[in-house]
Structure 1
């Protein structure tokens, strides 16, 4: 799997990050301090007016920088969990690839991955919420991890922020599930980890911006028009993949726009 094949995973991560805002926005805001106190956005003054103001500005700048670093640590932990899950999925596929029916299961995985993208696109557009039931099925695992949160809150240090992100990376999420199906198609642990790294990197800009803009960005990105546009992009990737599989379109430039390679 080359870098070109990872572009769709990155794009899905960017478009789907409007969903991440709902799931991770509160934690990111709390880590950055954007939701603390009155919930106002923190700013870093460029030119203080007095010595007292200078001390206040320095304190504010330090707090803002500390919050930004903790947000980075949280996201590093979250993406690390995605990569571990992707490596497990890709490694499982690598083992299954030695079976006689390898071509058949690869085709099934490809169909499922792109069907999940269609479902995710409709979910983001608020057109169909069946994916929420898929997420609910993962709550069995999450309930077992939840008690560990009490040891990580408040996440006031870098190790705790990283650990919180690593734990949060296992929160039931239909978007992550769809990408894990794509990681299955990578055919190796390294390839599966690369898919999830590209996906996680796609979600990163939005969550980092959320740490700065706080509730304002969250409100803007939850606007129906924004969700509809992002949903249509994800839906388009899924439909393109299904059409490619059903019509047997030959490989080539289309590989750059499809998640995985059908058998």
Structure 2
């Protein structure tokens, strides 16, 4: 999912990668800078996944995980086939808009810096920007049913986006706006496959029966 989502990232977050001031160093320095930036983004995704995954852990205990998996799958399919529906009925609250404005301002300050830690923070803040693909990945991470599973899911999601984002930083002259638009058209295919998989997964989940076997008994030792 992360690998296919990277085609979407090229159009949305690609301009940030293109703006990174890493072109003046040698190839090793460029590689290190891009790794630091993208690692910050992946770590933010992992932390968000752990937070959301903890919700999935509680839902698993009360038996609602299968319904959440189906809901996540349908949400992804709606995003693919009827994106205007989500844009019409779901609007971010005012406090969220202000938070996003703050994050963008901080990112603008960090883009002017040439220090490695600033690029790590830039990637970390980038992971907090509104993104439909990240939201869908987070919804999917709930279906893992655990905090560790959710964190690992989102970490792998972030790592999956890295090859394409690294390529944008290295070969920025190749990634024209026209090419980025064409690549983004491949994203709905993978999203539809992932949505169907989550629906099927939710339907196939089976919880163990609460009834204990009749032969299972507690041994009682009688003292003298």
Alignment TM class, shorter chain as reference: 0.7 to 0.9
Structure 2 Cα separation of the partners of residues 134 and 31 of structure 1: 35
Q: What is the CA deviation profile of residues 118-157 of structure 1, one whole-angstrom value per residue up to 9, with x for unaligned ones?
A: 23444xxxx7444556885253532343343354231311
Please state if 1:217 is matched with 2:180.
no
Q: Which moved more, 1:203-212 or 1:67-76?
A: 67-76
Distance in 1 (alpha carbons) for counterparts of 2:185 and 2:123: 28
Change over 3 Å in CA distance of 1:151–1:183 after alignment to 2: same
Deviation at 1:108, TM superposition (A): 3.2
Structure 1 position 109, deviation (Å): 1.8
* Deviation (angstroms), 1:71: 1.6
Does 2:174 align with 1:234? no
Residues matched between the structures, number? 202
Which of 68, 87, 95 does residue 109 from structure 1 map onto? Answer: 68
TM-score (ref. length: structure 1): 0.66
| Root-mean-square deviation (Å) | 2.7
Q: Once the 2 structures are TM-superposed, how far is the Cα of residue 81 of structure 1 from its aligned partner?
A: 0.3
What are structure 2's unaligned runs of at least 5 residues? 207-224
Q: Deviations over 1:195-244 (max 9, x none)?
A: 00111111111100111121522532321xx4333321221221243355
Give the distance between the partners of 1:205 and 1:135, measured in 2 at CA.
31
TM-score (norm. length: structure 2): 0.77
* Rg comparison, structure with higher value: 2
Sort the Cα spacing of 1:249 and 1:203 in 2 relative to 1 into closer, same or farther, 3 A. same
CA contact (8 A) 2:10 2:184 kept: no
Which structure exhibits the higher relative contact order, with contacts defined as CA atoms closer than 8 Å and separated by 6 or more residues?
2
The corresponding residue for 1:257 is none
Q: 1:249 to 1:146 in 2, by over 3 A?
A: closer
Contact 2:19/2:111 (<8 A) preserved: no
